[in-house]
Amino acid sequence: EVQLVESGGGLVQPGGSLRLSCVPSGFTFSRFWMSWVRQAPGKGLEWVASTNPDGSERYYVDSVKGRFTISRDNAKNSLYLQMNSLRAEDTAVYYCARNWHYAFDLWGQGTLVTVSS
């Protein structure tokens, strides 16, 4: 089955760190751009970061630049999002998504990150 499964979410204090993981199955992970998209409670979708197939290019929304790092390990078939200096406004469900034809054609189920003291 073609799918993406995220993990690593949870409750973290402001200023803390968290690493999210996304494990794909059913397709050749190393051929695709991959992204993270988040959705704050009751709010809309917000693109967070993207990386190219070999991980050499990385792009971020301005609000997370310098705090978040997207990375991938094609040998381990995994995508990551390292989140540092977390803020209350980073509270959201974080989705892993596959890029295809300048769209996100495959999404994970999401993992909830809550930043609160």
The β-bridge partners of 73 are 78
Nearer to other proteins, 49 or 86 (CB): 49
Instruction: Tell whether residue 45 is a contact of other proteins (CB under 8 A).
Output: yes
Say if residues 45 and 62 touch (Cβ distance below 8 Å): no
Instruction: Tell whether residue 111 is a contact of other proteins (CB under 8 A).
Output: no
DSSP 12-31: E-TT--EEEEEEEESS-GGG
The β-bridge partners of 32 are none
Binding mask 81-110 toward other proteins (x if CB under 8 A, else -) reads --------------x----xxxxxx-xxxx
Q: Which residues bind other proteins (CB under 8 A)?
A: 35, 37, 44-47, 50, 59, 61-62, 95, 100-105, 107-110
